[in-house]
Structure 1
Amino acid sequence: MENGKINDGAQEHHWTGRKGDQYTQRNDIDETNIANQVPQWKRSFRKAEGITSLIEFGTNCGPNLRSIVQAFPALQVSGVEINKKAADLAKERLPEANIFNENIVTFNSDLRWDLVLIKGVLIHITKEEKYHAALANLDKYAKKFVLIVDHVSQDPTKVQYYGRDDLWLVRNFPIDFIDRFPSWKIIDIGHWSRNDIGDGLRDDCRDVRWFLLGK
């Protein structure tokens, strides 16, 4: 492993390389759209009582954390991002945050956070052993809450993504997580609608569901 990145599969190569850099450019939204998401984060966190710290798995260049900091200025935020250019941008734009340039599948820390957020990332972990390792890290690093924001499907469904069928797999993420770690339960649920987000995101980033889980 070098700089927190592993080279044992096509997925890591995709996200750490040129395609990952291009993904960062496509998702580098402006301040207006950062501000537009503040009300949605407030809704998503409405039952996450008493949290003072948060880590996001799959931070990219930090748009979610930037919006969350606007919504909750006192919250201590951290992030894990596999792509070095994206992680460096997140560090630059969120100097108060602790950004780890690592893989969420192999991430290892002695720290724990009140809430672990993962948004639009689980769909891209299509290999079974890595998917289950990512779910295990949600359980490991969350002291109180896990917030999953993503597309969901009752049955695993592959989606073509830039001409490939190994980079997007929609599953029932919250149920898979609860089945594996039954001490968790869904305590709140909602969705990110087109009207909530505005015009700054691509269609494949819209109309996703969110699930707040607690112990």
Structure 2
Amino acid sequence: MREFTEQEEFWRGRFGDEYVVRNDGPELLASNLALFSDALRHAHSVRSLLEFGTNRGLNLRALHELLPHCRLSGVELNETAHAAAESLGIADVWMGSIFDYDVESTVDLTLAKGVLIHLDPELLPAAYAKLYEASERYILIVEYYNPEPVHVSYRGHENKLFKRDFAGEMLDLYDDLQLVDYGFRYRRDPGFLGTDCTWFLLEKPRRI
């Protein structure tokens, strides 16, 4: 069995448990509904979706409302978060690390929201591979953006949050990916609570 990275241990432990409790409420759900309504407007016929890093399932709850006929699934490392997501009864959530998840079948859309920023930067190519290999058509990335890689202090912790051009790196890594749409959510949005984040909808070529 491999050793977990510093970042994985961080999210598996007490900080990850506290995050589950801290990040809940109708305002966050409403913000997710607004974000995904924009981000998925050009994603057609999405009948199956896999989220890497579901946490307590706030994203899945919003997606269930927007795509009621979509088969939802997820991957979550933290035990407390996994239990909360599973208890919703709307998705099949596998417990474990993104890096240990075996892609056995594909879905119409894979999602990473607020997850890539917390991974060991050296392992990002492996995370990109999971997003790419599990997707039949679309990849949605919702993360903090910076044109150049930087790391910032996160609630007093170092080496736990990294900003970069995640979507751009995937576009460079996979020649057949295309950028379909992108947008920005501002933390001072008067209508919806949230944080500054940029979303990118990527598409793989359709199989004939």
TM-score, normalising length from structure 1? 0.88
1:1-215 correspondence runs (5 A)? 1=1, 7-27=3-23, 29-93=24-88, 95-128=89-122, 130-194=123-187, 195=189, 198-199=192-193, 201=194, 206-215=195-204
Q: Is residue 103–residue 130 contact of structure 2 (8 Å, CA) maintained in 1?
A: no
Instruction: Check whether the contact 2:98–2:127 (CA below 8 A) recurs between aligned residues.
Output: yes
Structure 1 runs not aligned, ≥5 long = none
Number of aligned positions between the proteins: 203
Letter in 2 for 1:21: D
* Contact 1:37/1:196 (<8 A) preserved: no
SS at match of 1:78: strand
Structure 2: which 5+ residue stretches go unaligned? none
**Superposition misfits of 4+ residues, deviation over 4 angstroms:** none
> % of aligned pairs identical?
33
Work out the CA distance in 1 between the residues paired with 2:22 and 2:3: 24
Structure 2 CA distance, aligned partners of 1:67 and 1:40? 9
CA contact (8 A) 1:33 1:197 kept: no
